Amino acid sequence: MTHDRTLLDTLADQEEALVFKGFDEITAIEIGGHLMRAARAGDLPVVINIRTADRVLFHAALPGSSPDNDEWARRKSNVALRFHKSSMRVGENYRLKGREICAELGLDPIDYASHGGSFPVRVAGTGVVAAITVSGLASEDDHGLIIRVLEDYLAEEQ
């Protein structure tokens, strides 16, 4: 098994493991707070965004982030909400096929970015209902921050 295949498997495993029993506005605020505390503890210049397909449930722009991070968050969350997979997994899958998001695939790069940092909120028995997004760090670090916070949050939920 190649490193690339292992990464795709890891990303798929994360999506399968990090499933919510339920998710609402309060849950979004709680997770947003956890992400904010983790980012502040590391002095990370990030934007945190949690949204459904039609509205923002939580948004924070931490010191050092820029308006460009808001745009990256929007574009990455569009990928997670469209494919019901993490933006990192979609990007890695395209990379392995020698492709990238482009208009020919029906995905305008102005609206979609397949870089790490957006993770689908999957509810057991329902499916994907939202996306949790971080923007401002390297792709893998944006993704990793979300994963660490969700692992801790969902472990507490048990």
CATH of the domain at 134: 3.30.450.150
* Domain assignment of residue 100, given as a range: 3-157
List pLDDT tens digits, range 59-102: 999 999 999 999 999 999 999 999 999 999 999 999 888 888 88
Residue 97 backbone phi and psi in degrees, to 5: -90, 0
At 34 the three-state DSSP class reads helix
Please tell me the predicted confidence (pLDDT) of residue 1: 38
Number of domains in the chain: 1
A 10 A CB-CB count for 17 gives 12
Instruction: Give the span between the Cα atoms of 142 and 116, in whole angstroms.
Output: 6
Please tell me the predicted confidence (pLDDT) of residue 147: 98
Q: Assess contact for 143 and 88: CB atoms under 8 A.
A: yes
Task: Report residues of the chain scoring pLDDT below 50.
Answer: 1-2
Instruction: Give the span between the Cα atoms of 119 and 58, in whole angstroms.
Output: 14
Instruction: Give the span between the Cα atoms of 95 and 127, in whole angstroms.
Output: 26
Q: Assess contact for 121 and 131: CB atoms under 8 A.
A: yes
